[in-house]
Amino acid sequence: MTGTAGPSRPVPDRPAPVAVDTMGGDHAPEEIIAGAVDAVRDHGVRLVLVGQAARIRRELDRHGVVGEIPIVHAEEALDMGEGALAGWRKPRSSIAIACHLIKQGRASALVSAGTTAGVVATARLRLKGQHGVMRPAIAVRLPTRPRPTVLLDAGATADVKPETLVQFAAVGTAYAQILTGLPRPRVGLLNIGAEAGKGDKVTKRAYELLSGGQHGIEFAGNVEGHDLLGGTVDVVVTDGFTGNVALKTMEGTVRMALAEMRETMSASRTARFGSLLQRRRLLELRDRLDSETYGGGVLLGLNGTVVIAHGASRARGITSACLLAHDLAAGRIVDRIREQIAATRPPSRLGRLMHGDRDGDKDKHEKNEKQEKHDKAAERSERSERSERSEKNEKADQGGEKASPSEPGDRAGDRDGRTVPPVPAPAAPSDTGVNAGTDADAALGEPVPAPVTSPAESGHRRQGPAHDAQRSAGDPPADRKSSAGSTPPRR
């Protein structure tokens, strides 16, 4: 039960040894070294032990294998309570040294039972992400029949984008190909319902991208929580927050079920006798449901293979983790992920401009067109309103030039709040016999005949705007000119 399916294609070269972090875990280094020794003795896996050399030699001497397994000394170790910043604070830790061995080609993979946050942070810092990979993901195997199901992400990336979930599907496909030997594993998207319209915005958009069939992924649609152990799909994709909660829930449920079964089988003599008859099948069930059978999770998306064992792993769990790391390195998991990511990589900016948008730019373009049409309509409406106001102002100005208000502050067309037609004001005749307001009207192209008025009327009537303009120019008023040669009235 500890082995995994072999690679789907032969690998000509033998992979480099697997680096084992002997200082990480609740039971380090005793249980870690014991599991590594079992992997070497029973399965022939090549290993290199990284940690404090003196303590490693002491444990190897207990197992009688001193000199059989190489040792690389590391001065520091990450404590189980340390978080993501440990990778910066301890550059000489056993995990950092193991990552350095992978970069040098002296190791093909890393196995650690240390804190998940510390392992992920250190591995991302030292190994870097693969080209084109947005975020790494932790993939775990679920005990389903007839073959295991891959669940990712199990805690590496809590907040994701739709495109990140598509990449998780590609990464999980490459992992499932090595794990199950299937050329096209079926991929399901964990959701609150099987219908296409279920879920939040991120899940809905990811469903649309995966349904397009442009990524070389065998997408089987949405799957619900009760399908995780049903074996309906080979790969289940979700964000790190949801995946970690689902994984811990299943672990707690299995642990409780095994405890209840153990108590029930020992409740009476009949039950104990029946359990003896079913002992072999019960042991197989326990092994299949035990997390140590599967070795732990795999951190995918980096330039190196990293297997994260459970923090409470015993020797058996470390042995399974070493076998898993060896199989993934032999199956060239990093190269397969690179090929899958290349097939799912979105087009470049130039490609989007030449071939149109495939991931949302089309909707944005339509929205911009609608906004542009709305702005043009608003501009036309505003221009029309300005034109109407301008025409009204011109008409009002023309009417004001011909009008003669009877009181100061009165205007023709606005008296007591009522609109009345403008009334032309008669003016006194000048020396030339032409009305003073005629010049202004003639300038507007509207010749008006001069009305005949008496001197008395001309002396008491107010003149129009043209008369005011004439006075402002320095000419004497028309009424003074007309009365210059007449006899002044008696006093």
Output the pLDDT for position 456. Answer: 42
Residue 208: which pLDDT band, with cuts at 50, 70 and 90? very high
Residue 23: which pLDDT band, with cuts at 50, 70 and 90? very high
Output the pLDDT for position 369. Answer: 66
- Cite the residue boundaries of each domain of the chain with CATH code 3.40.718.10: 15-133+301-346, 141-291
Amino acid letter, 292: E
Copy the structure tokens of residue 184: 């096209």
| Other residues' Cβ atoms within 10 Å of the Cβ of residue 208 | 13
* Average pLDDT of span 202-217: 87
Output the pLDDT for position 373. Answer: 75
* Average pLDDT of span 130-144: 91
Winning range, highest mean pLDDT, from 54-58, 262-266, 272-276 = 54-58
Candidates 3.40.190.10, 3.40.718.10, 3.60.10.10, 3.40.1080.10; correct CATH number of 15-133+301-346? Answer: 3.40.718.10
Give 269 or 479, the one with higher predicted confidence.
Answer: 269
Short-list 178, 22, 208, CA closest to 98:
22
Rounded distance between C-alpha atoms, residue 292 and residue 314, angstroms: 8
Give 470 or 377, the one with higher predicted confidence.
Answer: 377
Give 3 or 291, the one with higher predicted confidence.
Answer: 291
C-alpha distances (whole Å) from 203 to each of 64, 134, 219, 223, 442 are: 54, 17, 14, 12, 79
Give 216 or 133, the one with higher predicted confidence.
Answer: 133
Residue 197: which pLDDT band, with cuts at 50, 70 and 90? confident
Give 451's strand partners.
none
Residue 154: which pLDDT band, with cuts at 50, 70 and 90? very high
Alpha helices for 105-141 (secondary structure H): 116-127
Winning range, highest mean pLDDT, from 128-132, 270-274, 348-352, 377-381 = 128-132
Residue 363: which pLDDT band, with cuts at 50, 70 and 90? low
Give 63 or 439, the one with higher predicted confidence.
Answer: 63
Mean pLDDT computed over every residue of the chain: 77
Question: 393-398, long-range: CB within 8 Å, 24+ apart, which pairs?
Answer: 398/444
Assess whether pLDDT exceeds 80 at residue 483. no
Output the pLDDT for position 105. Answer: 93
Output the pLDDT for position 138. Answer: 95
Assess whether pLDDT exceeds 70 at residue 306. yes
Residue 345: which pLDDT band, with cuts at 50, 70 and 90? low
Alpha helices for 27-93 (secondary structure H): 30-43, 53-63, 86-89
Output the pLDDT for position 48. Answer: 96
Residue 432: which pLDDT band, with cuts at 50, 70 and 90? very low
Give 306's strand partners.
110, 299
What's the fold here for domain 141-291? Isopropylmalate Dehydrogenase (3.40.718)
pTM above 0.85, yes or no: no
Output the pLDDT for position 352. Answer: 41
pLDDT digits (tens, 9 = 90+) for 76-122: 888 877 777 777 888 899 999 999 999 999 999 999 999 888 899 99
Rounded distance between C-alpha atoms, residue 15 and residue 335, angstroms: 13
Q: Taking a C-beta distance cutoff of 8 angstroms, is the pair 458, 427 a contact?
A: yes
Rounded distance between C-alpha atoms, residue 318 and residue 20, angstroms: 9
* Average pLDDT of span 393-407: 59
Of the listed ranges 81-90, 213-222, 352-361, 395-404, the least confidently predicted one is 352-361
How many helices (H) and strands (E) the chain has is answered by 18, 11
Q: Taking a C-beta distance cutoff of 8 angstroms, is the pair 225, 177 a contact?
A: no
Give 259 or 300, the one with higher predicted confidence.
Answer: 300
DSSP strand E in 325-452: where? none
Winning range, highest mean pLDDT, from 41-45, 272-276, 355-359, 410-414 = 41-45
Assess whether pLDDT exceeds 80 at residue 485. no
| Other residues' Cβ atoms within 10 Å of the Cβ of residue 279 | 11
Percent of the chain clearing pLDDT 90 (strictly above): 39
Sign of CA pseudo-dihedral 204, 207, 211, 214: positive
Give 45 or 377, the one with higher predicted confidence.
Answer: 45
Give 446 or 377, the one with higher predicted confidence.
Answer: 377
Assess whether pLDDT exceeds 70 at residue 417. no
Rounded distance between C-alpha atoms, residue 423 and residue 405, angstroms: 8
* Average pLDDT of span 210-217: 80
* Average pLDDT of span 443-448: 41
pLDDT digits (tens, 9 = 90+) for 214-259: 677 899 999 999 989 888 999 999 999 999 999 999 888 888 988 8
Of the listed ranges 100-109, 128-137, 362-371, 469-478, the least confidently predicted one is 469-478
Burial class (CB in 10 A: 0-12, 13-18, 19+), 439: middle
